Amino acid sequence: MSNKLLSIKNLELSFKMYEGTLNVLKKINLDLEKGEKVALVGESGSGKSVTTKLILGLLNQKNVFKNGNIIFKDRELINLSQREFKKIRGNNISIIFQDPIAALNPVFKIKEQFFEVNCNGGKISKKDSFDKACEALLKVSIRDPERVMESYPFQLSGGMAQRVVITMAMINNPDLLLADEPSTALDVTVQNQALDLMDDLTKVTNTAVLLITHNMGVVRRFAEKVYVIYRGVIVEEGTKSQVFKNPGHPYTEALLQSIPKLNGNRIPIHNDNAPDYAEIPKFTHPK
């Protein structure tokens, strides 16, 4: 029996805009097995986040054109109805967004937001939802879960809000967790705590993780396999060891050189700009 959980094959995405057709993704191929931690890494505008939105079925505007296959647990997702996607989101596939405070609704208490998430798993009373969430928050080292549950998002620190968001994403034991720059808005200490928490929770549940990031330090810290995306094209893939020890593409080398050094050496400046998808330059994929 195959352990393959997610398989993206020849995925293409374009937007019809006033400036012309923007070809954002071109022939993306990516595989992720059960319990595996995979990083999709690239600079801002390279196509990372739109890939996660396609996996979740969040790009359905009339000006969006998509082609290829997104197969999750042997099920094609690319043209799945929104009714079917609602059954998958939060249950089989969850997501952690970049800014934990912005990811939470500011006008509802944390307990009400947990209730909405818990309802995805089936009918549940508000009391049972409260108790289930408190138990889950205790497991992520929140010592006063009742106070947190009665709080509004603005009353939580960034680190506390990130623990809440991670717990919400994991509470229904999803098969796949999409982590879209989950530590960018946090300071370094809290960032490491968040990654440790994700690592611990996913090991217990055997949840696979697709980590979206531009930070190669985070990739080294967390991922097992790496895909490097540049201007909508996967330019390199391999195990973490292969990519870090023997990068095969100049862009991967530039990303590795961007990791801050403790010896005081200057970081090389990459003079390229974020891609203009209306005028993509010709690109030769390395053999």
Q: Where are the domains of the chain?
A: 4-107+152-257
Burial (0-12, 13-18, 19+ Cβ within 10 Å), 58: middle
In which band, very low, low, confident or very high, does the pLDDT at 70 lie, cut at 50, 70 and 90?
A: very high
Residue 126 scores a pLDDT above 50:
yes
Residue 277 scores a pLDDT above 80:
no
In which band, very low, low, confident or very high, does the pLDDT at 254 lie, cut at 50, 70 and 90?
A: confident
What's the pLDDT at 268? 54
Q: Which two tokens stand for residue 59?
A: 């790009």
Taking all residues of the chain, what is their mean pLDDT, rounded to a whole number? Answer: 86
What's the pLDDT at 1? 47
Q: Which CATH architecture has domain 4-107+152-257?
A: 3-Layer(aba) Sandwich (3.40)
pLDDT digits (tens, 9 = 90+) for 102-122: 889 999 999 999 999 998 877
Which of 68-72, 154-158, 182-186 bottoms out in mean pLDDT, i.e. has the lowest? 182-186
What's the pLDDT at 261? 64
Which has more confidence, 109 or 189?
109
**Percentages (nearest 5) of helix, strand, coil residues in the chain:** 35, 25, 40
Question: CA triplet 207, 7, 231: central angle to 5 degrees?
Answer: 105
pLDDT digits (tens, 9 = 90+) for 43-57: 888 889 899 999 999
